[in-house]
Structure 1
Amino acid sequence: MSISIKKYVDITSGVGGSAAVKERELILRLFTKDTKVPAGVVMEFTDLNDVATTFGTTSEEYKRAALYFGFVSKMITKAKKLSFAHYNDASAPASPAIVGGTALTTIATWKAITDGSVRIEVGPSDYLLDDLDFSSAAALADVAGTIQTKLQTILIGATVTYDGTGQKFNASFVGHDAPAAVSVIASGSGADIADNLGWTTAKGMVTSPGSNAMTALDYIIEADEISDNYGSFACCGAALDHDVVQSIAAWNNAQNVKYQYLVPVTKANYVAWYGTLMSYSGCALTIVNDGNTEFDEMIPGIILGSTDYNQRNASQNFMFQQVAGFTPKVDSNTEANDIDTNTRVNYYGRTKNAGQPIDLYQNGYLCGTSTSPLQMNVYANEQWFKSAAVAVLMTGLLSLPIIPATEEGRAIVISLLNGGDDAPIPRALFNGTIKAEKDLTVTQKAYVTQVTGDPLAWHQVQSIGWWLDAQVLQEAQTNGTIKYVIDYTLVYSKADAVNKITGRDILI
């Protein structure tokens, strides 16, 4: 026996500075009305085959995903992930639901079950479905029908169906209040069939609380609150009405260079739509054919999703991109000049050289005002930089014991943004978001001087590409406290893209 050494020396061990905040992935999000993606959840796919399994290869969702995953950028990179979320523009709330995972599909095994049971909790409701006899089932749809019949004795509008394409059992609790959390628990009686149905987390079940959303915008906001891990978004299905699109564009504008909203327009309506949407930052208008059978509006999202900002010179011009699966919508000088002169509407167009047709996306412009990034690549780069800055600053707040409201704290924030190769500013120089040695105009020099208060700041922006400062501020709160804020200002030289080359051949 002895006295514990901790009486004299007591050392606590742990890993410091290990908290990490994930950066957003600038992937494409598609909103679909298909109930295979239930309301109140966001589903992410990393493989085209998984999209096929969920939606079927003849679905619009699969066709869009094939275009997205099939594109290889000039940097030989491609999109790694695609997300789906539910929406509806029919002013109807969505009921709580279950989308099943991998199910037992051997009908003979089902027929052997004569005392099946499954127990589902939906909000405060507890649905025990027992005494389920599948001995007379001739097909998996009959299995679903037996369960539905039992469920409807408790909740008359509820449905249970078998999806032959995805090979899943799905349930919709129509008539139950939404939103309401859904869970499947041990039945406690008979033969528990939850695993057979694929209604377990291990089998890949997805539960939906449903939604009270009444408009397409409501659904978009709801999905955004669930996950903001995306960089662009578009809607599947029939074209949305102009007023609906305008409301979504207004919301996207308020997010301040966070997402690109991909909007299809036709040759018949692009002038009118551009006239009402032109001031909304981040709104990408692209001409499609009348039936929108090729989904041209997705092209900016395809390019953005394929951009890997961890690569050197990753920033890419959205113009001059050739994307398989699209045919030209504009192939005459008259049409092209009308569009380019009067609007910032984009299109997949065709030019020719030496008799060779050359199809490409053009011109890579966005809607917005004079203070908005109007070139898609510049906008995309700032989307990435903002995400990187948020991640590193939040990591600092979580990892450090304190960022003091002093000169030391100011220095910490500056070092987080520029303190090493993995900080946002060095990464931005590496991937091409920030461009050094770009000549500034007289107006730009004056503007930099004015916003920084430093008459030499423009020299730094012009030579190394950026200027950074921070200050400690105090904000009085309505609850009587003082909030201390470190407010940084970064001025950087954006990566403008060349859209035309001219020259003179002088012969002497």
Structure 2
Amino acid sequence: MSIDISRYIRVTSGVGAGANLGVRQLNAMLITTNPLCPTGTFLSFASAANVGSYFGTTSDEYKRATFYFGWVSKNVTSPQALNFWFWNEDADVPSRIYGKPNPALLPAFTAISSGSFTLTLGGATHTLTGINCSAAGSLSAVAGIIQTAIRAYSSGGSAWTGATVAFDATRGSFNLTSGASGDDSVAVTAAVSNDLASPLGWLAGAIFSNGQGARTIPDMLTQLNNTNDNFGSFAFMDALSLDEVVSAAEWNDSLPSNVKFMYSVPCTASNASALSSALRGIGGSTLTLAPLAAEYPEMCPMMILAATNYNGRSAVQNFMFQEFDLTPSVTTDGDADLYDSLLVNYYGRTQSAGQNVSFYQRGLMFGLASDPSDQNTYCNEIWFKSACTARLMNLLLALSRVSANSTGRAQILASLQEVIDLALFNGVISVGKPLNSTQKLYITNATGDNAAWHQVQDVGYWVGCVIESYVASGVTQWKATYTIIYSKDDTIRRIDGTDILI
């Protein structure tokens, strides 16, 4: 026996700097009214096949997913995930259960003469007992028996007495819809014996969608942003009114952290002018001509962004001159001039030596003079801002403190330098781009450094950080304020040449 060494020396082990906040994955978000997408739930899929398994292969979600995942960029990269979120079109919706497809066969139900399960609906939880399915002649008849049992619980109110249960032969599932709409929750618990929840497919593998009160577009988007902001662009699958489009665009442009999402809007020849006029001056929105119901060109910029691997060398992309499996919507100079003047993007066709070539053009966005006007510049800044946020948050989480002094300033600048170095590597920051006199004066005024513009032009960036105090709730606190000025990666849309013959 001996005295434990910890009486004299005690060593504690642990992993330092273990916190690791990831950079946002800039995949696409499609906002759907399909009730198979549960309210308040962020759905993400890694393949078109997974989308088809969930929504069905005849769904618009699957058709869009097939187009989305099927595209390969010039850098030989593809989108890695496609996300979905439900919008109730500003109307109350009921709680729903979509059972797991391919439930038990009829003999499994007819063997139960006194079935049971517990259901939560309309604010009430009740155990249903004595459900006799022995005489059911079909799965639809089973659904009717379950519906009758649920409706018999009058104490549950209209959510129970007006509930419907049906067997969906196409999907192969038992589906329940509450008799009341509005904010609510729904849940099912299996019975200890003679359980019906499992054969109905209302346990693991079922889709539970809680009832939800009406949500305006800004309210819905705010809920989405607060729930999960791990996406880079969004679009609505259903056609919106002009006011609804503007409402979504204004919400996106008014976020405290601007340049966070790209909002992609489809238009037709009949509403292109009105939408263009309404979106002028609203940053973060882009408009694409989409005349065919079965094609989705408005998803092109979303796909390019999702397929950009910002960890790769020279990864950034020109959103123009990208080819997709689409029908050209603009084939004349007259139409091209019209839509270019409206800042409407389109899938256009040109030809040389009798060979047609079609590509997405011109990769433009709306906004004020201070907003990025190119899709590639806007999307690159989405990534750059997210990467800086993640690096700085990881710094705060990993260290015991970041001091309000020169040491803290150096730590912050070192964290930012990691992102800057990656931006130089992937092409977000452009080196050697000439600056005009106005840009030089702006950089000088913003930095207070007469030589700063030389660094931006020759090296690609200038970064500074100051430590300063501020007062919040009557208490003096300290913050670090950093400024990064970088040369954005402009892309060439046209080449002019002169042939001189001597």
Question: Normalised by the size of structure 2, how large is the TM-score?
Answer: 0.93
The one-letter code matched in structure 2 to 1:317 is N
Taking the aligned partners of 1:164 and 1:460, their CA distance within structure 2 comes to 67
1:147–1:3: structure 2 CA closer, same or farther, 3 Å change rule? same
1:329 correspondence with 2:322: no
Taking the aligned partners of 1:23 and 1:115, their CA distance within structure 2 comes to 53
1:277 correspondence with 2:285: no
Corresponding position of 1:156: 161
Q: Report the number of matched residues.
A: 494
1:447 correspondence with 2:442: yes
Q: 1:170 aligns with which of 175, 178, 188?
A: 175
Corresponding position of 2:157: none
Corresponding position of 1:210: 211
Corresponding position of 1:33: 33
Whether contact under 8 Å (1:213, 1:219) holds in the other structure is: no
1:484 correspondence with 2:478: yes
Taking the aligned partners of 2:476 and 2:169, their CA distance within structure 1 comes to 60
Corresponding position of 2:2: 2
Corresponding position of 1:59: 59
Q: CA deviation at 1:450?
A: 0.9
1:176–1:59: structure 2 CA closer, same or farther, 3 Å change rule? closer
1:475 correspondence with 2:474: no
Q: CA deviation at 1:122?
A: 4.6
Corresponding position of 1:82: 82
SS at match of 1:31: strand
Corresponding position of 1:104: 103
The one-letter code matched in structure 2 to 1:69 is F
Whether contact under 8 Å (2:92, 2:182) holds in the other structure is: no
Whether contact under 8 Å (2:190, 2:198) holds in the other structure is: no
The one-letter code matched in structure 1 to 2:286 is A
The one-letter code matched in structure 1 to 2:478 is Y
Q: Counterparts of 1:98-497 in structure 2 under 5 Å?
A: 98-101=97-100, 104-122=103-121, 124-154=123-153, 155-175=160-180, 178=183, 180-188=184-192, 190-200=193-203, 203-237=204-238, 239-255=239-255, 256-289=258-291, 292-324=293-325, 326-340=326-340, 342-418=341-417, 423-478=418-473, 480-497=474-491
Whether contact under 8 Å (2:92, 2:181) holds in the other structure is: no
Whether contact under 8 Å (1:129, 1:147) holds in the other structure is: no
1:108–1:337: structure 2 CA closer, same or farther, 3 Å change rule? same
Q: CA deviation at 1:414?
A: 1.0
SS at match of 2:148: helix
1:194–1:392: structure 2 CA closer, same or farther, 3 Å change rule? farther
Whether contact under 8 Å (2:152, 2:161) holds in the other structure is: yes
1:217–1:156: structure 2 CA closer, same or farther, 3 Å change rule? farther
Taking the aligned partners of 2:403 and 2:250, their CA distance within structure 1 comes to 38
Taking the aligned partners of 1:294 and 1:266, their CA distance within structure 2 comes to 12
1:198–1:441: structure 2 CA closer, same or farther, 3 Å change rule? farther
Taking the aligned partners of 1:172 and 1:225, their CA distance within structure 2 comes to 27
Q: CA deviation at 1:174?
A: 3.7
Taking the aligned partners of 2:165 and 2:222, their CA distance within structure 1 comes to 29
Q: CA deviation at 1:165?
A: 4.2
Q: CA deviation at 1:287?
A: 0.9
The one-letter code matched in structure 2 to 1:417 is L
Whether contact under 8 Å (2:47, 2:65) holds in the other structure is: no
Gaps of 5+ in 1: none
Whether contact under 8 Å (2:108, 2:199) holds in the other structure is: no
SS at match of 2:318: coil
The one-letter code matched in structure 1 to 2:275 is W
Q: 2:501 aligns with which of 500, 504, 507?
A: 507
SS at match of 2:161: coil
Question: Normalised by the size of structure 1, how large is the TM-score?
Answer: 0.92
SS at match of 1:349: strand
Q: CA deviation at 1:181?
A: 4.3
Q: CA deviation at 1:225?
A: 2.0
Taking the aligned partners of 1:176 and 1:92, their CA distance within structure 2 comes to 9
With 273-282 and 219-228 compared, the bigger mean Cα shift is at 219-228
Gaps of 5+ in 2: 154-159
Taking the aligned partners of 1:406 and 1:197, their CA distance within structure 2 comes to 64
SS at match of 2:466: strand
The one-letter code matched in structure 1 to 2:493 is N
Whether contact under 8 Å (1:53, 1:165) holds in the other structure is: no
1:65–1:204: structure 2 CA closer, same or farther, 3 Å change rule? same
Q: CA deviation at 1:395?
A: 1.5
Corresponding position of 2:156: none
The one-letter code matched in structure 1 to 2:22 is K
Whether contact under 8 Å (2:122, 2:180) holds in the other structure is: no
Q: CA deviation at 1:139?
A: 3.8
Taking the aligned partners of 2:24 and 2:170, their CA distance within structure 1 comes to 32
Taking the aligned partners of 1:170 and 1:318, their CA distance within structure 2 comes to 43
Taking the aligned partners of 1:38 and 1:488, their CA distance within structure 2 comes to 41
The one-letter code matched in structure 1 to 2:18 is S
1:63-122 deviation per Cα after TM superposition (whole angstroms, max 9, x unaligned): 111110111111111111111111132x31223333444553433323323333222335
Taking the aligned partners of 1:61 and 1:215, their CA distance within structure 2 comes to 22
The one-letter code matched in structure 1 to 2:336 is A
Q: CA deviation at 1:293?
A: 2.8
Percent identical across equivalent pairs?
Answer: 41
The one-letter code matched in structure 2 to 1:160 is V
Whether contact under 8 Å (1:476, 1:482) holds in the other structure is: yes
Taking the aligned partners of 1:100 and 1:306, their CA distance within structure 2 comes to 34
With 255-264 and 115-124 compared, the bigger mean Cα shift is at 115-124
Whether contact under 8 Å (1:103, 1:195) holds in the other structure is: no
Taking the aligned partners of 1:162 and 1:460, their CA distance within structure 2 comes to 68
The one-letter code matched in structure 2 to 1:106 is L
The one-letter code matched in structure 1 to 2:130 is D
Corresponding position of 2:15: 15
The one-letter code matched in structure 1 to 2:188 is V
